[in-house]
Structure 1
Amino acid sequence: MNRLAVFDCDGTLVDSQANICRAMEATFAAASLPSPSRADIRRIVGLSLVPAIAMLHPQGELALHEEMAEGYKRAFFAMRSSNALDPEPLFDGIREAIDTLEASGWLLGVATGKSDRGLRLLLEHHGLFNRFVTLQTADRHPSKPHPSMLQLAISEAGAAPETSVMIGDTSFDIEMARAAGVRAVGVVWGYHTPEELLAAGADQVVVHASALPAVLESL
């Protein structure tokens, strides 16, 4: 049975908070609403757009949240089209961790609240698109923490829940893993605290990407 390591994207593979915050601020401004703080915006990274906006604006109705989700997409597209995106660098040690895991026989995947197009552009930019055997996005799944993304990733990779691990920086990632019967490793360089990751059920929490291969082998 194949072994599968599934990474979250924003806050786990790459530091994308600046662009997410700017697009969300533009979305709220276009709706004539006060913008949430950047700290609050970072809290919802990883969710699909409609539930993320609902968490930031709980008094709004579904129709407004859906309209704002489309506005977020337009804002992000405008930033990309005008070459106004901030860099979205890989976190330190991620590329090396991917190399080591792949050399050790792990198959790699991504489960993210991004769109198919956004994920592909990001991975291609970093030369990593072909390193992943399964890519699951919000375009085809319910939002995290629903287990759908992991369930399909496991199926596509020919793995099993007991031979798979989810790696992520938010409680949404950890809760998704638990719902899918998958082990979970939290990372501290993202947007939720180590305490939150452990409370959500992370098997282990790592402080640097270089620790990931050894931790996955130990689970």
Structure 2
Amino acid sequence: MSSFEKFTSEHSILFDLDGTIIDSRIGIIETLHAVVAALGHVPDKAIDLTWVVGPPLAELMAEVIGFYGDTRVDEAVALYRRFYDDSGRFQTPVFPEMAELLRTLARSPIRIFTATSKPATLARSILAGHGLDQCFDRVHGAADDDSGGEKPEMIARIIAQESLNAARTLMIGDRRFDISGAHANKMRGIGVLWGYGGQKELNEAGADLLVKSPDALAPALEAQLTALSRA
């Protein structure tokens, strides 16, 4: 029996996807370079694009192509969706230990969901490709047109749709958006350091706890859920 069996369905965990469960950096950045080229520019591959993993697509696209003096955001977003669906989504390895943790949680009474800025249909497809989609009670994310990807509103929607108790729920993610979204909904936000936000960003966002590596996440979750049970 896992250490999570002692909890109940009153306990829930929301997981970000990019930078938390999957290492999507290469697929996203290569897709962005393809978009820039398709718009008629020469991609500057020396530019650090690590920051693009996490924000809503239209927001990050405006900044990426703005560097080249381009304002065709809608066209760029459409190109990105097509290119990412063709190849980028296959460049998404799962971080070590995360698959086993998700499978362990899925066998427990704890309810688990995604809360990702990716469209939910795309997130579900990526997770299915790794055999992990069935681990989740439901895959939540943005709409197919990328609307609804802002974390505060998304988490509020998940709480309402799934009848979650925010005081018994954790949000796990690697970016400030995950932490601020959790706190906007009176939920603890746990920051992970193997993703793309980094310690400074997560500390400034007020993360309730930082976890250094995937193998340290299971005991951290157990301790946090135990603390919530006492509150």
Q: TM-score range by the shorter chain?
A: 0.7 to 0.9
Identity %: 30
1:91-129 alpha-carbon deviations (Å, 9 max, x no partner)? 011122223333443211101122233212111111111
Residue equivalent to 1:45 = 53
Equivalent of 1:204 in 189, 202, 209: 209
Q: Deviations over 1:53-100 (max 9, x none)?
A: 1233457999621221111112223326xxxx6542210111222233
Which of the numbers 86, 97, 105 marks the counterpart of 1:78? 86
For residue 196 of structure 2, what is the aligned residue in structure 1? 191
Q: Which range is displaced more, 165-174 or 103-112? A: 103-112
Q: 1:156 aligned to 158, 161, 180, which one?
A: 161
Give SS of 2:21's match: coil
- Evaluate the alpha carbon distance shift between residue 39 and residue 218 of structure 1 in structure 2; reply closer, same or farther with a 3 A threshold: farther
Q: Give the drift of 1:12.
A: 0.6
- Tell me the alpha carbon deviations over residues 150-184 of structure 1, each in whole angstroms, 9 at most, x when there is no partner: 12222333312111111111112112112222111
CA gap 1:38/1:208 in 2 versus in 1, 3 angstroms:
farther
Deviations 1:8-37 (A, max 9, x none): 111110111111111111111112245365
CA RMSD of aligned residues (A): 2.5
Instruction: Specify every segment of 5 or more residues in structure 2 that has no aligned partner in the other structure, as ranges.
Output: 1-8, 225-231
User: Where does the alignment leave 5 or more consecutive residues of structure 1 unmatched?
Assistant: none
Q: Tell me the CA shift for residue 7 of structure 1.
A: 0.7
Q: Distance in 2 between matches of 1:217 and 1:55?
A: 39
Asked whether the 8 Å contact 1:24–1:41 carries over to 2, the reply is no
Letter in 1 for 2:133: F
User: Once the two structures are superposed, what CA deviation does each residue of 1:182-214 show, in whole Å capped at 9, x if it has no partner?
Assistant: 111111111111121111111111112222232
Residue-pair matches, total: 214
Indicate the residue corresponding to 1:19 in structure 2: 27
Using a 3 Å threshold, how does the CA distance of structure 1 residues 13 and 33 change in structure 2: closer, same or farther?
Answer: same
Letter in 1 for 2:163: G
Q: Contact 1:93 / 1:208 at 8 angstroms: preserved in 2? A: no
> Which residue is equivalent to 2:177?
172
TM-score by length of 1: 0.86
Rg bigger for which structure?
A: 2
Return the letter of the residue paired with 1:50.
A
Q: How far apart, in 1, do the equivalents of 2:85 and 2:70 lie?
A: 23
TM-score with structure 2 setting the length: 0.82
CA contact (8 A) 2:31 2:84 kept: yes
Amino acid at match of 1:31: L
Q: What secondary structure, in the 3-state scheme, does the structure 1 residue paired with 2:49 have?
A: helix
